[in-house]
Amino acid sequence: MSKNPDGKQIKVGILGATGTVGQRFITLLAEHPWFTIHALGASSRSAGKPYVQAVNWKQTMPIPSIVREMIVQECRPQHFVDCAIIFSGLDADAASEIESAFRSSDLAVFSNAKNYRRDPSVPLIVPLVNDSHLSIIPQQQALHDPPLKKGFIVTNANCSTTGYVIPLRALEKAFGPIESCLVTTMQAISGAGYPGVPSLDIIDNIVPYIGGEEEKMEWETLKILGGITDGDDGRKTFDMHARHPLRVSASCNRVPVIDGHTMCVSVRFQRRPPPSPQQVREALVAYTPEAQSIGCPSVPVHAIFVHEEPDRPQPRLDRYYQDGAGVSVGRVRQCPVLDIKFVVLANNVSIGAATSSIINAELAVLKGVVKVE
């Protein structure tokens, strides 16, 4: 197990700690080798109560003993001043104001919410793909009024976007730019939060619409897979894959699966002739993101696990492999319309949510972006 560079335990806080993403943060952080849970934040309804009384616990493991009797605080920066890192599992309707207040208080916020993903100085990071985008944080701090020394916001992506950009990144690294991509999702009900989709809507049914999801997948992909350039005004900007334009068409569906988003993906490469299915399989297996090579403790052994069986991956069989920290790919084959098509499975509550934020924070510590005293 890799060590925190300073050898110290790093105090962290969790906002939205009673929600489903907050609960997942707690299960992942309870025995983390670097991070120790120091403060929990939730709504005023929960504030002042021991966590065990405030939460409607929905995880398969018991509430970790470290947080059972911890008193829940309101999501105000003064209750979290001793924390080097803040993990936000807040709902979007509350995240904007609260996360901004924490950043303004010079706290480092790693957010699962969508609110700041479009901000031109906020990196949108899938930790197995584009950790180099952390380089824009000094600009974010300098543009704040007053400038910040330690505070910033990092966002992770939509849970479906996260799952399929990992193999896309592996393919672009091996074979050059992708010109176009078609992706059809079959998304688990846990992605809708709790209580989520009514049972009469989802049992024995597929709902072919998730509000805002298709648009998010289409533009987030460009920000994540694109680079950072220096503008005429000296500011860094996300180029949105503009040097090699990429067209993405997403169709998003809610299906009666508890955890695990499945995606059918077809891609066309700029390269002619395109790679063969076997070359694609080999590139996916070989893909090694920087988060693995520099020693982040929460990264999976396989960023991408490639199945050879004709009927895998499947949510029930594969969603908890590597504790859901990597993605599974199967059915790699030629596409008669584009070039290559395949199936991706990602655990939406792990790599699609809390796990991504945690690895983002680990990367920030290793790269010196988070200042640990």
Annotated catalytic sites, by residue? Answer: 159, 261
The residues, any chain, with a CB within 8 Å of residue 371's CB and separated by 6 or more, are 84, 149, 150
Amino acid at 259: D
* Nearest CA among 266, 264, 246, 281 for reference residue 174: 281
Angle at 122 between CA 186 and CA 301, to 5 degrees: 55
Amino acid at 36: T
DSSP string of 272-302, one letter each residue: SSPPPHHHHHHHHHH---HHHHTT-TT--S-
Paired tokens of 241: 């894959």
d(CA 40, CA 345): 31
Task: State phi, psi for 179 to the nearest 5 degrees.
Answer: -85, -40
d(CA 7, CA 1): 12
Paired tokens of 221: 């992909």
Amino acid at 334: Q
d(CA 202, CA 182): 25
The label of the residue with tokens 């180099």 reads 132
H or E segment and range at residue 251? strand 247-254
Q: With 0-12 CB in 10 A as exposed, 13-18 as middle and 19+ as buried, what is 17?
A: buried
d(CA 334, CA 27): 40
